[in-house]
A = this chain, B = another copy of it.
Amino acid sequence: MSEVHAARRARLRERCTAGGCAALVSRAANVRYLTDGAPPGAALLLAPDHDVLVLPREPWAEPERGWPPEGVEQVVLPSADGDCAVAAAELADRIGVQGLAVEEHHLTVARHRELARAAPRLRLTDLDRAVEQLRLVKEDDEIAALRVAAEITDHALGELLESILVGRTERHLALELERRLVDHGADSAAFPPHVGTGPNAGAPNHHPGDRRVEEGDFLTVCLGACYRGYRCEVGRTFVVGSEPASWQIELYELVFAAQRAGREALAPGAAYRDVDRAVRQVVDRAGHGDLLGSSVGHGVGLEIHEDPRLSPAAVGKLDACVPVTVEPGVYLPGRGGVRIDDTLVVRPVTDGGPELLTITTKELLAL
């Protein structure tokens, strides 16, 4: 992997170190993207002619492969109390770069002030989301990891569907999903699984609680595996026990149609907001537009929420090899709702169109 990471650093250096400036990367997922396996708290300084990784003093478990990253000087903090980003800024000041671009969307005001104090001769500028921009389009190895993550996720969900659900609490179903993800080879769950039953089904911001699954309930689950650091998600809604009621069928078909419209809108060159609009139009037409959330999907990768955001106000266009979720949900307060969520990779029509990673059926199953 080390050439991959060196190539990423080279791309960032090209963009950000013009005129003798250096870039300081402190956001954990960004440091990981550029070095692989650096421990939490590490900071990466990309100077025009060399790279320095500042590591915390605490001992940590080095990755088994690809460590240390080639061509990166390593410095360990002298004190256990120190801040790697501050130490990296100090170093930049000492080696005399012309300016230092820092991640203003990540650093707090207080920490930025410490950085400025540590590098009094440097002008601090904004690196902005330059690394997040690089992370947007995934390499083959990254997509391969997402594919495995999705396969694990589908397995874990499939097993749950074969078990008896009535009488079990949301909380226990969520923990069981997490265990099954790990059983099938996930590093961990990509995020704490969501489970909602009855009036909680499909409710935004609902945390799995003590409600037990009952006959006739809607049941929504949303889960994902993290595999080699890459995170995906799948979300499905089921009816428990009996034939679905007519309002349940109606609501399900609406969300299904909206989600399909979103999936079909995924293409290289499609504007983020047009994908959102494709979904929103379907729901609007049914008079439920106000019940849709603020976005209908988002990028995934080293983090479960990455750029792009598929929302009405989002600016930008999809590229090939960008993995995103399409996950509209419509929630009727007090009755419950439906969410359908897939992870897909944007591909041109010539390659067969969007690649669906999460293949669990989207039929309305009565479990």
Please list the residues of chain A having a beta carbon within 8 angstroms of any beta carbon in chain B.
Answer: 39-40, 57-61, 79-81, 104-113, 126, 171-172, 175, 178-179, 182, 188, 192, 200, 203-207, 293-295, 311-313, 331, 333
CB distance from A334 to the nearest CB of B (A): 11
Q: How far is the CB of A224 from chain B (nearest CB, A)?
A: 16
A312 touches B81 (CB 8 A): yes
A223 to chain B, nearest CB (A): 14
Q: How many copies make up the complex?
A: 2
> Are B106 and A108 in touch, CB under 8 angstroms?
yes
Contact A294 B204 (CB under 8 A): no
State the Cβ distance, A357 to closest chain B Cβ, in Å: 24
Bound: A112/B179 CA distance, A: 40
A293 touching B60 by the CB < 8 A rule? no
In the bound complex, residues from chain B placing their C-beta under 8 Å from that of A294 are 57-58, 79-81
Complex Cα–Cα for A354 and B178 (A): 37
Q: Which residues of B contact A106 (CB under 8 A)?
A: 108
Query: What are the residues of chain B within 8 A of A126 when measuring CB–CB?
Result: 109-110
Q: Are A60 and B205 in contact (CB under 8 A)?
A: yes
Q: Is the interface of A mostly helix, strand, loop or mixed?
A: loop
Contact A205–B107 (Cβ < 8 Å): no
The residue from B110, B172, B192, B206 contacting A61, defined by CB atoms under 8 A apart: B206
Min CB distance A365 to B, Å, is: 26
Q: Could you list 5 A-B pairs, sorted by A, with CB under 8 Å?
A: A58-B204, A79-B294, A80-B294, A109-B109, A175-B182
- Contact between chains at A203 and B81 (CB < 8 Å): no
Do the beta carbons of A204 and B293 come within 8 Å of each other?
A: no
Contacts of A108 in B (CB 8 A): 104-109
Most buried by B among A40, A192, A205: A205
Q: Are B107 and A203 in contact (CB under 8 A)?
A: no
Q: Are A203 and B59 in contact (CB under 8 A)?
A: yes
- Complex Cα gap A108–B60 (Å): 28
Bound-state CA distance A115–B57 (Å) is 35
A81 to B298, CA, bound (A): 14
- Nearest 9 CB-CB pairs, A to B? A80-B294, A104-B109, A105-B110, A60-B205, A104-B110, A175-B179, A109-B112, A81-B313, A58-B204
Q: Is the CB of A331 within 8 A of B109?
A: no
Which of B81, B204, B312 lies in contact with A60, CB distance below 8 A? B204
Residues of B within 8 A of A192 (CB): 188
Residue of B nearest to A192 (CB): B188
CB pair A59 B204 closer than 8 Å: yes
